[in-house]
Amino acid sequence: MNRLTQLFPLIAGSASAMALVYPAIFTWFGPLHIKIALAFIMFFTGLGLTAADFKRVVRKPGQVATGFFLQYTIMPALGFATALAFSLPPEIAAGLILVACCPGGTASNVITFLAKADVPLSVTMTAVSTIAAAVLTPALSAWLIGARVPVDAVAMTRDTALVILLPIALALGARRLLPQIARRLEHSANFLAVIAITLIVASIIGSSRTAILSGGLRIIAAVFTLHAGGFLLGYLFARLLRIPEVQCRTISIEVGMQNSGLGVVLATKHLTALAAVPCAISSLMHSLIGSLIAAWFARSAVTHAGAAGRPVN
């Protein structure tokens, strides 16, 4: 695992702080760049997928289904409840709910590896939730955002499918038709994804500098509550269902971490620039919390086949 990839929270945090002080360094990275960057991230995600990942859905449907169900119930509900609890302005609330309705993020696979949890399960859950996001993210967002900000669910569904499914399909085609090139790209995928996400986050924070400085603490607290709640409830519900400890930890990580880059793209195009702010902060926040949880999990790693990142039968 690339060392720079593991330092993502530090890299993104430093860039975000710099964007608040010198926004022009990052604001050149506009909406079109953000959309292209996310498409590349989805392409890199597709490079890491194999037929074996999807076979695990058939072999271990219970654990994957549990993670999938929690991803699209706990997080949207938490997003809605958190927006109400913190009395967020309509546009900020809409962005928080939107990112809560997004699928699991690719960074969750890195965090799962660092936590010595079940990496194959994490990859499978990310793949399944990402593909389903083409329909579920726009549908849930439109329903929960309600009248806060007008949402064109059909247009959002189209754009979500375009940004997610097309790059993944191209990546799967590259693996089959150009395997050597695909393998070389895959080795650099995590690092390139870190750079892309950092530029996305810093660009949004720089563009929304005034709003963040005026009401940033409340927004940050709301985003922290959303993700901390996702990590905690994902773990607790998995334990209640008597899923093994290593897989509970994996589900916790997967539920607590969102594809915030997708949230940024959808918020920028279908909501408002201000709605993208909680999505950008989300990317940094869930990685920071995830890194701390990974360190804790790794120190108390369970002596189990799954703790080494192997699927548990």
- Closest by CA to 250, choosing from 105, 78, 125, is 125
- pLDDT at site 6: 64
Each domain of the chain, given as residue ranges in start order, spans: 3-298
Residues in CB range of 80: below 8 A, 6 or more apart: 97, 100, 144
Which token pair is 257? 């971490």
Residue found under tokens 């726009």? 138
Q: What is the pLDDT of residues 174-183, one digit of tens each?
A: 887 887 777 7
**pLDDT for res 305:** 42
Rg of the chain over Cα atoms, rounded to whole angstroms, equals: 18
Residues 6+ apart with CB under 8 A from 142: 151, 153, 156
pLDDT at 309: 43
Contact 103, 129 (CB under 8 A): yes
**Which class is 3-298 in CATH?**
mainly alpha
Alpha-carbon span 269 to 110, nearest angstrom: 29
d(CA 65, CA 129) in angstroms, rounded, equals 10
Q: How far apart are CA 290 and CA 68, in angstroms?
A: 18
Angle at 103 between CA 98 and CA 106, to 5 degrees: 125
Q: Hey, how many other C-beta atoms are within 10 angstroms of the C-beta on 149?
A: 20
> Looking at residue 225, what is its pLDDT?
94
Write down the pLDDT at residue 54: 63
Average pLDDT along the chain: 80
Residue closest to 278 by CA, chosen among 23, 141, 95: 95
Alpha-carbon span 199 to 46, nearest angstrom: 21
Which of the two residues, 39 and 56, has the higher pLDDT score? Answer: 39
Q: Among 5-9, 201-205, 223-227, 308-312, which range has the highest average pLDDT?
A: 223-227
Residue 198 has, within 13 A of its CA and on its CB side, a CA count of 20
How far is the C-alpha of 101 from the C-alpha of 295, rounded, in Å? 27
Tokens, residue 17? 């702080």
pLDDT for the residue 83: 92
Pick the closest to residue 84 from 101, 75, 73, 96 (CA basis).
96
Helices (H) and strands (E) in the chain, counts: 16, 0
Taking 3-state DSSP, the helix, strand and coil percentages for the chain, each rounded to the nearest 5, stand at: 80, 0, 20
Q: What is the pLDDT of residue 50?
A: 67
Query: In the block, which residue shows the tokens 């119930």?
Result: 73
pLDDT at 78 over 70: yes
pLDDT band at residue 5 under the 50/70/90 scheme: low
Whether residue 98 contacts residue 24, with contact meaning beta carbons closer than 8 Å, is answered with no
Band (pLDDT 50/70/90 cuts) for residue 230 is very high
Spatial distance between the Cα atoms of 8 and 21, rounded to a whole number of angstroms? 20
- Distance separating alpha carbons of residues 9 and 198, to the nearest angstrom: 9
pLDDT of residue 304: 45
